[in-house]
Structure 1
Amino acid sequence: MIEKRDFSSLGHANHGWLNARHHFSFGGYHDPARMGWGALRVWNDDEIAPKSGFPTHPHRDMEIITYVRTGAITHRDSLGNEGRTEAGDVQVMSAGTGVAHSEFNLESEETRLFQIWIIPDAAGGEPRWDAKQFPRGERSGRLEVLASGRDEDISAGALMIRADARLSGATLAAGDSITHRIADGMSAYLVVSAGSVTVNGVEIGPRDAAAITQETEITVSATQDAEFLLAETRTH
């Protein structure tokens, strides 16, 4: 089953400096039918104005993945980490027992990103942060694992998270397709970053999502040049 979730149906909060869309209940947006998808708890589609951002605030017991769509984001945290993540690249923060951080768009242009939270397999653990470049051209026509809790993915270059989950990304030229098998016991959630695709024949447009259940295999076909991300998490 492929449930299309239109961008226009997402929760919306415009704070001036931040224009956010929420795939799942978050902040002032609450929908009991959209509390998460498997261990995927948050997927926010954020537009951050130049020279603004999220001031220092705490987290614990959450795996937080940031995928930058355009622009760049600069991270600072209470562990002493600092880094700038650019479009197409990824940062991961395992909040563990607790960490405070800020995320600012220090650029002269708007930054657009996906903020993705996954519930860890177990509470606690030392907090940590990491980031990596993932050139978009290297995942043309194939799914590349960007973040994962599986040893084989981490060995192949994915950022580590503390959950039996993975976040993958791909770019497709119009007319091209990718077929991917979904492992037993996993929930899948696909979001189109740019362009449009079909997922097992269901049309998914720019910034729309496909909530996927009871499908052992999906074929993603680009109806125009497209980029998408796929989160696979353990079904709760």
Structure 2
Amino acid sequence: MMDVRRAAERYPGGDPAAGIESRHAFSFGPHYDPDNLRFGAMIACNEERLAPGAGFDEHPHSHTEIVTWVVEGELTHRDSTGHETRVRAGDVQRLSSAGGVRHVERNDADTPLTFIQTWLAPLSPGGDPSYEIVHGIADSTPYAVPEAGAMLHVRRLEAGARTAVPGGAYVYAHVVRGEVRLGAEELGQGDAARITDATDVEAVGGPEGAELLVWEMAGPSRPS
């Protein structure tokens, strides 16, 4: 079963006056929808746009696996465990907040920043926080988040190129840029598909090609 969610359906958020524009795929902050709390292990998929000099001041997280994908620009990350890094397009950053961590996310560059951040519920709460960054991840290299029973696949498709979508109990596909035909559905930039019990699903790049993030998740339970 495939449930397509369009970019225009996302909940708006952030603080535009402070240079922060957010779009949330799931219930977030004041936008509460009891029927849209999670999909498999995924509890948030946020598109964030930060103007130069804008950012999120130090704030806490716990019991969440936070994976960040930069679309354009450069993200400055600092956390309470001592990590300070700059994340660029093509890098995968993961912050395992575990029992608790605080971090800062800013655009310290002089160009706009756009990134996609996914939050995953861990299989077991608690533990010590950890941090990892993989620079320039390749299409053929899936990124595992075993703490959440999840795997991220990056697909960069030329026009008309085809790729198989991983099978799984829960698969979440997000179009970063371009257009994709996913099964019988046409998806544009910012659109996403939630696929339950995915089998034999194929993605085809649109006329200008596409970049696609695909999450493969075991998931702790099925949504009702």
Report the TM range for the smaller structure's normalisation: over 0.9
Deviation at 1:214, TM superposition (A): 3.3
Determine which of 199, 206, 211 is the counterpart of 1:223. 206
- Give the ranges of 4+ consecutive aligned residues of structure 1 lying more than 3 Å apart after TM superposition: none
User: For residues 37 and 8 of structure 1, what CA distance do their matches in structure 2 show?
Assistant: 19
Distance in 2, matches of 1:85 and 1:20, equals 18
Distance 1:78 1:181, change over 3 A: closer
Answer yes or no: is 1:173 the counterpart of 2:148: no
Which SS does the other structure have where 2:66 is aligned? strand
**Match in the other structure for 2:59:** 57
Name the residue aligned to 2:40: 38
**Among candidates 58, 71, 84, match of residue 82 of structure 1:** 84
Which blocks of at least 5 consecutive residues in structure 1 are unaligned?
A: 150-161
Mapped partners of 2:164, 2:129: distance in 1: 35
Aligned CA-pair RMSD: 1.3
Deviation, structure 1 residue 78: 0.9
The residue number in structure 2 matching 1:159 is none
Q: Work out whether residues 2 and 199 of structure 1, in 8 Å CA contact, stay in contact via their aligned partners in 2.
A: no
Find the aligned partners of 2:95 and 2:197 in 1 and give their Cα distance.
Answer: 31
Give the Å deviation of 1:116: 0.4
Q: Does 1:207 align with 2:207?
A: no
Aligned with 1:8: secondary structure? helix
Give a deviation string over 1:131-178, Cα, whole Å, max 9, x none: 11125xx42xxx5313431xxxxxxxxxxxx12111111100001000
Q: Distance in 1 between matches of 2:141 and 2:206?
A: 20
Deviations 1:40-71 (A, max 9, x none): 00000111111110100111111000110100
Letter in 2 for 1:207: G
Structure 1 CA distance for aligned equivalents of residues 170 and 197 of structure 2? 9
| Distance in 1 (alpha carbons) for counterparts of 2:174 and 2:13 | 19
Give me the TM-score of the superposition, normalised by structure 2. 0.93
CA distance in 2, matches of 1:179, 1:100: 38
* Structure 1 counterpart of 2:127: 125
Count of equivalent residues: 217
